[in-house]
């Protein structure tokens, strides 16, 4: 289930970046910048959860263990 949530977060981040590019081309500034910041935060969270720890397992692997 955690892998599904991380995948959904990455897809959402990609959609935010695409939407921000469209809004930037239309001349808006504030909303696209905030969208890009949110996308960066989401990608950062996915990276944190995916990086292996000292034991070799990622936080996702630990979260899915019973």
For residue 2, what pLDDT band results from cuts at 50, 70 and 90?
Answer: confident
pLDDT at 55 over 90: no
CA distance 17 to 35: 7
Structure confidence at residue 58 (pLDDT): 83
Is the pLDDT higher at 53 or at 23? Answer: 23
CA distance 29 to 15: 17
Is the pLDDT higher at 2 or at 15? Answer: 15
Structure confidence at residue 13 (pLDDT): 98
pLDDT at 64 over 80: no
CA distance 40 to 54: 25
């Amino acid at each position: 289930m955690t892998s599904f949530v991380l995948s959904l977060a990455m897809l959402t981040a990609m959609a935010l970046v695409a939407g921000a590019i469209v809004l930037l081309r239309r001349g808006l500034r504030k909303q696209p910048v905030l969208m890009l910041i949110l996308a960066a935060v989401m990608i950062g969270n996915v990276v944190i959860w995916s990086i292996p720890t000292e034991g070799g397992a990622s936080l996702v692997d630990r979260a899915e263990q019973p």
